Amino acid sequence: MEDKSLLEKWLNDSLTEAERETFQQEEAYPFYERLIADASHFKASQFSELSDFETLQKKIRTREVPVRKLHPTTWLLRIASVFVIGFALYYFILFPSEVKVETLAAQKTTIELPDESQVVLNALSAVTYNRRNWEDNRTLELKGEAFFDVAKGSRFDVVTPRGTVSVLGTEFNVKQRASAFEVICYEGHVRVVSGTQTEELRAGESLSFLDGKMTRGSTSLSGPQWKDNISDFREVPFSEVVAELERQYNVEVILEGVSANTRFTGGFVHDDLENALRSITEPLGLSYDLTQENKVILKTREK
């Protein structure tokens, strides 16, 4: 028996038992069952009874399914937009434009900038710059101390909380620690702007600001000593010496009966704590004790 006749009889509820079993084995039977079940949930104000298969077939054939036409240019642009946005997100997440390099206590590191300029960072220091527009804007932010060997090119700015150092291609050192700000020029010349003051430095000249007081000086060295693991000081408060010792050895220094404002000239090495302690205590008549908690106690030597 043809499917058409079985379907017509099924709709009219006139199938024999044998025909019903045959019809239920048809592949499309579950679909017809769902169709009738779904139709039973609808209510309409005007309802006409489906009388036979021919009427159902006619309705199915004459039903129009709306087709949405996509303009080829529109959907291509949408695909391209999704691709561009996705690529941009991927690029900016994996390759951020801002670069920040930090050092820990007792650590130094050398950075090569996009123009092949080099920066050597001292302990507990940080530089931040934008590598994506570096060719148009050679500017970086510094917190701490760093030595710069700048490739020739456009203006190069080092911005610190205490002032800005500008150069066109030279070697210089910048230190900004707490209230101290110091610039030493080893090659070429630099311009230093701090607050309302603007100063020019040539090779061999230095400039320091401490507690609002500006001091100019000179140096015969070809570079900062700390690059060779030596910290040197000239007429600085002892508190600066102690702070640098803490940075280079990752220790805590406690002063007992010792003035932090005492002026100190000298230095210490970065690879031998005992040697370093003797270098800063003996000139001032101090003694030191090392504890197991990585602490150093400095006090006046007993007579």
Radius of gyration of the chain (CA): 41
State residue 64's pLDDT score.
Answer: 53
Cα separation of 22 and 34, whole Å?
18
Count of residues in the chain: 303
Residue 198 scores a pLDDT above 80: yes
Q: What is the pLDDT of residues 118-138, one digit of tens each?
A: 999 999 999 999 999 999 999
Rounded Cα distance, 190 and 219, in Å: 15
Separation of alpha carbons 13 and 26, rounded Å: 17
Topology of 98-226 in CATH?
Jelly Rolls (2.60.120)
What is the CATH topology of the domain spanning 230-300? Phage tail protein beta-alpha-beta fold (3.55.50)
Q: For 64, phi and psi rounded to 5 degrees?
A: -100, 130
d(CA 112, CA 108): 14
Q: Domain ranges in the chain? A: 3-62, 98-226, 230-300
Give the dihedral sign, CA 250/253/259/264.
negative
The yes-or-no verdict on residue 264 having pLDDT over 50 is yes
Mean pLDDT on 205-211: 92
Same fold, 98-226 and 230-300: no
Q: pLDDT tens for residues 150-188?
A: 999 999 999 999 999 999 899 999 999 988 899 999 999
